[in-house]
């Protein structure tokens, strides 16, 4: 499978074979990393991380992945320190940065920004989140985490909980899960339901989808509960946010009704939607999920650079 020069913009651009291939390469790299500590596949290559919007774990995870591949990193973590502040267009920023690097990772507050960057750049562009649209590398690491935990994705019942309206991680994940034989429970306040077009598309693709507001009634059914933060910063109206703030909290009392094998995931950061007491239970998978970001992003960087 030739990934050299390929852009990673949206889960929509992937086939199931693409996803399985990346997960397999990530697994191989994780094993190599455990054996050798660090690798040198990307020696001499430079990654540019363009984070126009704040991020801690995605940016650090990409940087860590590139360093562990033996490459180096340049970039910025806020638009305020760049020429964008002087009025430079996104296209011009990309055309400039590609002169200094071999691969670009971009996070931007506008939906479609990564697609535009990929059209402008001749080097591969990886989307690290564009507004409330897509976050494909998060999706791949989520799938990787599920596969490592259960040995499979097919046959699982998965609940997506929280902000399903603005949450790009759950949009991408739901679309990717449609490649598998899964049953999906979409659990959210009425105001934060999954966009209609995504639900329709999932159903058209044969996924058994249930929409509900009832976490406690649904939790006994689930193998995976994917929790998301209600993102204050995405609400156009603060009053709307206050109506749904703190709608759900996953704690040990709620988990009494869950299967012993239930695993809880969260793209992090969390606020109050998972009580810290859950961290000590076997259910907590979210820190392992954070670790998965490194091998998966190593795989994507190495493949798009053509060094793997």
Partner 1 sequence: MAELKVTAIREGTVIDHIPAGKGLKVIEILRLNRPNGGVLLLASNVHSGKLGRKDIVKIEGRFLSEEEVNKIALIAPTATVNIVRDYRVAEKFKVEIPDKITGILRCANPNCVSNHEYTVSKFYVVSREPLKVRCHYCERTMEEEEILGNL
Active site residue 86: yes
**C-alpha to C-alpha distance for 114 and 293, rounded to whole angstroms:** 19
- Measured from the CB atom, the residue of 90 and 161 that comes closer to partner 1 is 90
Of 57, 67, 95, 259, which residue is the catalytic one?
A: 57
- Measured from the CB atom, the residue of 128 and 146 that comes closer to partner 1 is 128
Residue whose tokens read 């939906």 = 111
Active site residue 115: no
On the CB side of 87, how many CA atoms lie within 13 Å of its CA? Answer: 0
Active site residue 107: yes
Of 107, 193, 229, 297, which residue is the catalytic one?
A: 107
Strand partners, 73: 47
In the complex, what is the shortest distance from the CB of residue 252 to partner 1, in angstroms, rounded to a whole number?
Answer: 38
What the block records as the tokens of 96 is 């400039």
- Measured from the CB atom, the residue of 136 and 267 that comes closer to partner 1 is 136
Contact set with partner 1 (CB under 8 A): 10, 12, 89-91, 108-113, 115-116, 130-134, 197
Active site residue 45: no
The 3-class SS string of 49-106 reads EEECCCCCHHHHHHHHHHHHCCCEEEEECCHHHCHHHHCCCHHHHHHHHCCCCCEEEE
- Measured from the CB atom, the residue of 92 and 279 that comes closer to partner 1 is 92
Decide: 162 and 227 in contact? Cβ < 8 Å.
yes
In the complex, what is the shortest distance from the CB of residue 110 to partner 1, in angstroms, rounded to a whole number?
Answer: 4
**C-alpha to C-alpha distance for 128 and 114, rounded to whole angstroms:** 8
In the complex, what is the shortest distance from the CB of residue 54 to partner 1, in angstroms, rounded to a whole number?
Answer: 17
Sheet of 263-265, strands arranged across: 208-212, 183-187, 157-161, 224-227, 263-265
Of 6, 45, 58, 93, which residue is the catalytic one?
A: 58
Active site residue 283: no
In the complex, what is the shortest distance from the CB of residue 253 to partner 1, in angstroms, rounded to a whole number?
Answer: 38
In the complex, what is the shortest distance from the CB of residue 39 to partner 1, in angstroms, rounded to a whole number?
Answer: 34
Contacts of 33 (CB under 8 A, 6+ apart): 39, 68, 294, 295, 298
**C-alpha to C-alpha distance for 14 and 172, rounded to whole angstroms:** 11
Of 6, 45, 135, 193, which residue is the catalytic one?
A: 135
Residue positions annotated with a catalytic role: 57-58, 86, 107, 135
């Amino acid at each position: 499978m030739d990934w050299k020069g390929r852009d990673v913009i949206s889960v929509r651009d992937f086939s199931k074979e693409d996803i399985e291939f990346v997960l397999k390469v990530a697994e191989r790299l994780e094993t190599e990393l455990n054996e050798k500590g660090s690798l040198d596949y990307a020696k001499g290559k430079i990654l540019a991380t363009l984070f126009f919007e704040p991020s801690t774990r995605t940016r650090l995870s990409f940087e860590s992945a590139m360093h562990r591949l033996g490459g180096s990193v340049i970039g910025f973590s806020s638009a305020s320190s760049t020429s964008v502040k002087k009025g430079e267009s996104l296209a011009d920023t990309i055309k400039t940065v590609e002169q200094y690097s071999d691969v670009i990772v971009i996070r931007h507050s506008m939906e479609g920004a990564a697609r535009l960057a990929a059209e402008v750049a001749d080097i591969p562009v990886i989307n690290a989140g564009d507004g409330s649209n897509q976050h494909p590398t998060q999706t791949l690491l989520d799938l990787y985490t599920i596969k490592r935990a259960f040995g499979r994705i097919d046959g699982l019942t998965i609940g997506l909980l929280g902000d399903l309206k603005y949450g790009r991680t759950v949009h991408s994940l739901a679309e990717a899960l449609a490649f598998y034989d899964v049953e999906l429970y979409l659990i959210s306040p009425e105001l934060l339901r999954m966009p209609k077009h995504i639900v329709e598309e999932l159903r058209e693709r044969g996924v058994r989808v249930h929409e509900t507001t009832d976490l406690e009634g649904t939790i006994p059914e689930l193998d995976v509960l994917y929790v998301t933060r209600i993102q204050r910063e995405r609400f156009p109206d603060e009053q709307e946010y206050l109506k749904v703030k703190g709608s759900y909290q996953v704690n040990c009392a709620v988990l009494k009704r869950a299967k012993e094998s239930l695993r809880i995931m969260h793209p992090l950061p969390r606020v109050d939607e998972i009580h810290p007491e859950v961290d000590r239970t076997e259910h907590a998978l979210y820190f392992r999920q954070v670790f998965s970001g490194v091998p998966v992003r190593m795989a994507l960087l190495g493949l798009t650079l053509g060094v793997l």
